[in-house]
Amino acid sequence: MDPNFFDRTEIATALVPFETRGRSDWVVIAKAGFDISEESGPVRLPEPIPLAEADIPFDEEDPESIQYESDYIPFKPATDLLCVGQAHAPGQLPLTEMEVSFSVGGWGKRLRVVGDRHWETPLGRLAARMSKPKPFLSMPITYRHAYGGMDASDKEGIARFGPNPIGRGYTSGGKGLGNLPLPNIELPDSPIKGWKDRRAPAGFGPVGRTWDPRSRSGGTLDEKWQDELAPELPADFSETYYNGAPSNQQLKDYLKGDERIRVENMHPYVPVLETRLPSQRVRVLVGDGSGTLSEQPVNLDTLWINMEELVMTVVWRCRMTLDRITEKTSILLVSEDLAATPTPAESYALLMASASDEQGGGDKEWEEAESEMKEDVDASGMKENVEAETSPPGATS
């Protein structure tokens, strides 16, 4: 039996059951999209952005290069900070090197972007050297342009760079380097200097599930697992696998909302984008028909920015275990202004009682009950303010 799900938001949501190692969870996923082109702050899009049922590549013909991962996961132990787009030369003037940056609250990261270049081995030289970078106006910030890729010295064409098998510039031997493309995207403090250098892939987007070290968090998929546990998760599976951002783009403390965001040099006409996370609080409350609601923990665990479209999406997730589900078990999903005092759970319990019928109540009934609840909450707050203003100094109630 599924619990009753009352969604009183205007964003994309889902209530999903997950079975993990004998544990039965229910997960509420809520996703909101915002226009971030306005200087006044994020404006919620008129139409919800659907939850992604599968990973979304930049190009359908290139399924290994992912711009957005599926929303249908049970939990993230940290907040993923993600940004996709291109580096754009300031003033639209060609250059050979520049930096882009992405920051949220007190966290920040920079990338060095270099024009196309390659290893070259001029006649009379034993050691390869880098060619001069070519001027560019824009450069995709994808892992195709970061360090990694196929091993250029592997004649069988099998060996790849584990942390980024789709990149460029990787070789395990010094032979045959001529014209091997070098990475365009690097971390500013660790540029490639020689063919023996090994670098972590640089980027702002999600890393592949099968790439190192993320793949190791997925556990050991050996013959023993296949015979004894499949399709259950391996015994050494870690939930860090669900975080798709690079490790230095994962915040252990979840975002709250309203944090400042700054992106530099990733839009042709907006060299510096400054905006904020939405001032929005998402709440999940569970009732058993007794007239009371229990608050469940909700995490803002994904921030994703598309700089080409100037769109931001935010995902909240709530995982809960319901010991016993009856026909009266209900889950209420609501959204509130972060700056406002949270509405008491008791008020939402009265709302559900007055709006619900055997079928869960229609929109009209909910809207009428919500209007009455808002009037009651506003009146209560006004009364408290009046009492505070009229009480003599030092008086207690």
- What are the pLDDT digits (tens) for 107-132? 999 999 999 999 988 765 667 889 99
Average pLDDT over residues 381-387: 50
Q: Which residues contact 338 (CB under 8 A, 6 or more apart)?
A: 256, 257, 258, 278, 279, 280, 281
Q: How confident is the model at residue 374 (pLDDT cuts 50, 70, 90)?
A: low
Q: How confident is the model at residue 386 (pLDDT cuts 50, 70, 90)?
A: very low
**pLDDT confidence of residue 393:** 52
Structural domain boundaries of the chain? Answer: 4-85+244-389, 90-140+143-186
User: Is pLDDT at 215 greater than 60 in this prediction?
Assistant: yes
Mean pLDDT of all residues in the chain? 90
Q: How confident is the model at residue 25 (pLDDT cuts 50, 70, 90)?
A: very high
Neighbours of 5 (CB within 10 A): 16
Q: Tokens representing 14?
A: 């889902």
User: Is pLDDT at 375 greater than 80 in this prediction?
Assistant: no
User: Is pLDDT at 21 greater than 70 in this prediction?
Assistant: yes
Q: How confident is the model at residue 358 (pLDDT cuts 50, 70, 90)?
A: very low
